Amino acid sequence: MKKKVLLMGASGSGKTSMRSLIFSNNPASLTSRLGATIDVEQNHVRFLGDLILNLWDCGGQDSFMDSYLTTQRPTIFQQVGVMIYVFDAESHEPIKDMEYYRDCLEGLRYFSPEAAIFILIHKMDLIREPQQLLDKRRQELQEVSGDVSIQLFGTTIFDQTLYKAWSSIVHTLIPNASILSKHLSIFAQACGATEVILFERTTFLVIATSSSGTGVASSAVPTYAKDGSDHQLEPTRYERTSELIKAFKYTCSRVREEFHTLELDLHDFSAVLDELTKNTYVLVILHDPTIETAAVKLNIRLARSKFETLQADSLN
């Protein structure tokens, strides 16, 4: 199954930078070397088993944008699964940005009315009053978008917000993610875990969690453990985990090693992060001190084939 993902937005807004962080495991510090993207750069990323993301990174200089909206219009906007529109939070040409956005929205409505739309207000690290800006942009964009539903995130390549946004994006592309969630919570119960989180292997984006049937969307709500105890966990933990592990993977690659597994036994909790299927990693969080991480590792091994099957099914 192939899903077309459009990355659009003004030149310099940060599209190629975020792509290289999420999909190529490059650090933020290296993005300053990127040149402007010429025309469209297409990439195929095998995401989950048979799910292939077909990324269209559309260079944002005016001449390219004009051609996307005229001669190339059908090619660009046909069969789109998701459009991600990136706005530079510090843009000097907000009016022009908005006009291009409106034109793209129209193209999408005509050729791919079913496509999901995500809007990223990017480079938020440069903004002094981030919440204020987001509220303002949300209102403006809602108005321009009319009855089309949009999801808006503030992001920057320098913290976990990028992972939060992208986890939501890919979540819309996995048809039966809620089935995965259900089985994760069964697995959590079997392990005596407070929480179990499933990550895609290369991007470390969150695919599903044991905490809710709706997956990542609920990460802003504190989690209460299934065992009836009242563990209340950090709301940003999913995206921060993605960010931390990605950074550590990069460190490992610099010494020509490859990150494989992690286990922790700390004062407050213990955890196991291990491969679950060919394409996924699973993180199991334990607050019950009587449960050994070795037992969890064994459980993960035993659950492997079950999840391989589930994952294949969830894509069909």
Partner 1 sequence: LNGSRHSSSSIQRTKVLVLGLRRSGKSSIQQVLFNNLPPKQSFYLEPTYRIVKTQIDTVVPLELWDTPGHATPESIGIPIGQFRSLIFVIDIRDLYNQPITKLVSFVTAAYQSNPDINIEVFVHKSEKLQEDDKIENFRHIQERVTDRLLDLAPEYENIQPNFYLTSIYDHSLHEAFSRVLHKLIDSLPYLEDMLNVFCANSQSPKAFLFDTKSRLYVATDASPVDTATHNLCCDYLEMLTSFGTLYKSTASTSRHSPPTTSEDPQLLSSNGASLTPSPTTSTGVPPQSSKKHPKEMFYPSAATSLHPSTPGTTLTYHEITSSLALLALVPTSVYEGRRGLLEYNVVFFREGVQEICDVEKETREGG
Ligand X SMILES: Nc1nc2c(ncn2[C@@H]2O[C@H](COP(=O)(O)OP(=O)(O)OP(=O)(O)O)[C@@H](O)[C@H]2O)c(=O)[nH]1
Binding site for ligand X (CB under 6 A): 9, 11-17, 31-32, 34, 36-37, 59-61, 122-123, 125-126, 156-158
Nearest to 237 by CA among 154, 163, 157, 155: 163
3-state secondary structure 88-114: ECCCCCHHHHHHHHHHHHHHHHHHCCC
Q: Which residues contact 99 (CB under 8 A, 6 or more apart)?
A: none
In whole angstroms, how close is the CB of 37 to ligand X at the nearest point?
3
Pick from 50, 90, 93, 265 the residue near partner 1 by CB under 8 A.
Answer: 265
- DSSP conformational letter for 297: H
The nearer residue to partner 1, 23 or 269, going by C-beta atoms, is 269
**Among the residue ranges 14-22, 152-160, 226-234, 243-251, the one whose residues contact Mg ion (CB under 5 A):** 14-22
Structure tokens at 211: 């905490």
The nearer residue to Mg ion, 16 or 241, going by C-beta atoms, is 16
Pick from 15, 123, 171, 287 the residue near partner 1 by CB under 8 A.
Answer: 287
Structure tokens at 292: 């050994």
Alpha-carbon span 62 to 68, nearest angstrom = 10
Pick from 155, 241, 279, 314 the residue near partner 1 by CB under 8 A.
Answer: 241
Pick from 231, 304, 308, 315 the residue near partner 1 by CB under 8 A.
Answer: 231
Residue 37 lies near Mg ion (rule: CB under 5 A)? yes
Select the binding partner of residue 112 from ligand X, Mg ion, partner 1, none (C-beta < 5 to 8 A, by kind): none
The nearer residue to partner 1, 195 or 200, going by C-beta atoms, is 195
Q: Hey, CA dihedral for 138, 139, 144, 147, is it positive or negative?
A: positive
Residue 20 lies near Mg ion (rule: CB under 5 A)? no
Q: Considering only residues 244-263, where is the footprint of partner 1 by CB under 8 A?
A: 244-245, 247-248, 251-252, 254-263
In whole angstroms, how close is the CB of 107 to ligand X at the nearest point?
17
Alpha-carbon span 80 to 105, nearest angstrom = 12
For residue 195, the surrounding DSSP H or E stretch is: strand 195-200
Q: Hey, CA dihedral for 189, 183, 212, 197, is it positive or negative?
A: positive
Maximum distance among all Cα pairs of the chain, rounded to whole angstroms: 65
Nearest to 5 by CA among 165, 124, 197: 165
Nearest to 86 by CA among 118, 59, 120, 116: 120
* Contact characters 178-217, partner 1, x per CB under 8 A: ----------------xx----------------------
The nearer residue to Mg ion, 17 or 219, going by C-beta atoms, is 17
In whole angstroms, how close is the CB of 259 to ligand X at the nearest point?
24
In whole angstroms, how close is the CB of 99 to ligand X at the nearest point?
16
Residues near partner 1 (CB under 8 A)? 194-195, 229-234, 237, 240-241, 244-245, 247-248, 251-252, 254-269, 271, 285, 287-292, 294-295, 297-298
